[in-house]
Amino acid sequence: MFGGARVVRLLLFALALAGGSISAARAASEYDVKAAYLYNFAKFVDWPASAFTTANAPLVLCVVGGDPFGPALGAIEGKLIAGRPLRIQYITARDGLGDCHIAFIGALDTAGRLQVLERLGSKPVLTVADTPGFATQGGMINFVVADGRVQFAVNPAAATRVGLTLRAYLLKVAIVVSGQG
């Protein structure tokens, strides 16, 4: 699926995102790595100015549904992204999604995931999940674990539809897919 050079770039990208060493990366759990990726995804996505209420409003990462991360998101909460502090918010699938800039859609069935995507509509919210097929169903980033490594697929068209810009570097290290659901 990936060439050797691409695997090395993905590993370097993950390490750079996590700010850790190779030995730390080996010891990291799957969700520690995914948390680091979420933080770094935010660095490579541009939101329209209208997505924020003020110039220094926080960037809000919402965990929708079940929380598979445990304490892993605590390591990134409060870090700055483009001058904005990252705030973590845990919500149920029925809660409002109005404050979210990134929505990690946790353990929901297909109907629940699609309902969240529908509720978000054209809001500039980066949608991420680790459920098979999420990016081809209209989600933007889909974590994939292959050969014991966390990788990700990106649906650039889904991001563009809501006014988000995925930077070239993110696309360069991702599996690029298409689909609307």
Task: Give me the mean pLDDT over the 33-38 stretch.
Answer: 95
How confident is the model over 119-169, as pLDDT tens digits? 888 899 999 999 998 899 889 999 998 888 899 999 999 999 999 999 999
What gap in Å lies between CA 152 and CA 170, rounded to an integer?
10
Q: Which of 26 and 134 is assigned the larger pLDDT? A: 134
Q: Which of 86 and 11 is assigned the larger pLDDT? A: 86
Q: In 3-state terms, what secondary structure has residue 95? A: coil
How confident is the model over 157-180, as pLDDT tens digits? 999 999 999 999 999 999 998 866
pLDDT of residue 27: 47
Query: Could you tell me the domains of the chain?
Result: 4-176 (3.40.50)
pLDDT of residue 180: 64
Which distant-in-sequence residues (6+ apart) come within 8 Å of 130 by Cβ? 34, 68, 142, 143, 144, 145
Q: What is the dihedral of CA 26, 27, 32, 34, to 10 degrees?
A: 20
> For residue 101, what are its two tokens?
């800039």
Pure H helices in 55-155 = 110-120
pLDDT of residue 13: 45
Residue at token pair 């999940």:
129
Task: Give me the mean pLDDT over the 76-88 stretch.
Answer: 95
pLDDT of residue 128: 96
* Strand segments (E) across 40-140: 45-46, 59-64, 80-81, 84-91, 102-105, 126-129
Could you tell me what percent of the chain has a pLDDT over 90? 56
Whole-model pTM: value is: 0.82
Closest to 106 measured CA to CA, from 124, 89, 122, 123 = 89
Could you tell me what percent of the chain has a pLDDT over 70? 83
